[in-house]
C-alpha cells in the first residue's frame, strides 16, 4: 500500500487527525537532524534543534501552503532556526567538537563525525557564511536538486547553481589551506565530495 504524500498527511492533520503528525516526524526526522548537525556541528545541539524544528512546524502548520512541497517548507524552518542558533553562539563555542567529551557520543554518531566532520572540514565550513554552508549541505550531503534548494532559500535556481560552484571552490581552497597547515602535502580528496 502506498504511503500518503506529506501534503496529504498535512491536509488530514489540519482536518483534525493530529496523530498523522507522527508520520511526518518519522519520515523527515533523520534528514532534518543531519541538516542541523551539518549546520551546527554538534550532536546534542542538532538533536535539540531537530525537536524545535518539528515543534515550530506543528505550531505553524496552519500557515503551510499545500502548493509548496512539505520537505522544502520544513527545511526552510530548519534553516532559519539554525541561523538563529549560529547568531547566538559566542566565539568560544566556535569549535565545540574539539573540546567535547567523546564518551557522550555513540559509535554511530562518532562514525558520522569522523566521515563528515573532521576538524579540517569543520574549520573550512566555519569560514563560509551560513547560506553557503546550507547550500553545500543541501546539495552535497542531502542531495537536493537546485529547484528544491531554491524553494527552501527563496532564491533562483540558476543563481544557486553559480553560487554553489563558487562556494564549492571556496570550500576546496579553505580545506586545502587547513590540510596544508597540517603539513600534509599528499593529495587528499575532500571528504564531503566538493
pLDDT digits over 68-80, tens only? Answer: 899 999 999 999 9
On whether both 97 and 123 belong to a single domain, the answer is: no
Cα 194 from Cα 68, distance rounded (Å): 29
Q: Do residue 131 and residue 96 come from a single domain?
A: no
Query: Would residue 65 count as lying in a domain?
Result: yes
Confidence of residue 140 (pLDDT cuts 50, 70, 90): confident
Split into its structural domains, the chain has a count of: 2
- Domain span holding position 80: 1-101
Among 101, 132, 165, the domain boundary falls at: 101
Q: For the segment 9-37, what is each residue's pLDDT rounded down to a tens digit?
A: 998 998 999 888 999 999 999 999 999 99
Name the grid cell of 106. Answer: 555513540
Query: Does residue 76 fall inside a structural domain?
Result: yes
Q: How far is CA 30 from CA 37, 46, 86, 134, in A?
A: 10, 11, 21, 16
- Mean pLDDT along residues 152-175: 91
Domain presence at residue 91: yes
Same domain, 82 and 129: no
pLDDT for 91: 40
Range among 84-88, 96-100, 173-177 rated most confident: 173-177
Tell me which of 75, 101, 127 is where a domain ends.
Answer: 101
Q: Which of 73, 101, 129 is the last residue of a domain?
A: 101
What pLDDT is attached to residue 116? 53
Does the pLDDT of residue 104 top 90, yes or no? no
- 45 plus 97 within the same structural domain: yes
Whether pLDDT at 44 is above 60: yes
106 domain-assigned: no
Predicted confidence (pLDDT) at residue 151 exceeds the cutoff of 80: yes
Burial class (CB in 10 A: 0-12, 13-18, 19+), 41: buried
Q: Whole-angstrom distance between the N-terminal and C-terminal Cα of the chain?
A: 38
Q: Are residues 1 and 85 in the same domain?
A: yes
Amino acid at each position: 500500500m502506498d504511503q500518503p504524500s506529506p501534503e496529504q498527511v498535512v491536509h488530514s492533520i489540519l482536518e483534525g487527525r493530529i496523530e498523522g503528525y507522527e508520520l511526518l516526524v518519522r519520515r523527515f526526522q533523520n534528514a532534518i537532524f543531519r541538516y542541523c548537525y551539518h549546520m551546527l556541528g554538534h550532536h546534542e545541539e542538532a538533536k535539540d534543534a531537530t525537536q524545535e524544528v518539528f515543534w515550530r512546524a506543528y505550531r505553524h502548520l496552519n500557515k503551510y501552503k499545500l502548493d509548496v512541497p512539505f520537505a522544502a517548507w520544513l527545511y526552510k524552518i530548519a534553516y532559519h532556526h539554525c541561523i538563529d542558533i549560529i547568531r547566538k553562539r559566542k566565539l568560544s563555542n566556535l569549535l565545540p567538537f574539539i573540546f567535547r567529551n567523546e564518551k557522550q557520543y555513540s559509535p554511530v554518531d562518532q562514525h558520522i563525525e569522523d566521515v563528515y566532520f573532521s576538524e579540517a572540514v569543520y574549520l573550512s565550513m566555519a569560514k563560509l557564511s551560513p547560506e553557503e554552508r546550507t547550500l553545500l549541505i543541501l546539495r552535497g550531503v542531502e542531495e537536493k536538486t537546485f529547484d528544491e534548494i531554491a524553494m527552501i532559500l527563496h532564491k533562483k535556481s540558476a543563481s544557486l547553481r553559480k553560487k554553489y560552484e563558487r562556494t564549492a571552490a571556496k570550500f576546496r581552497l579553505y580545506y586545502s589551506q587547513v590540510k596544508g597547515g597540517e603539513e600534509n602535502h599528499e593529495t587528499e580528496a575532500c571528504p564531503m565530495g566538493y
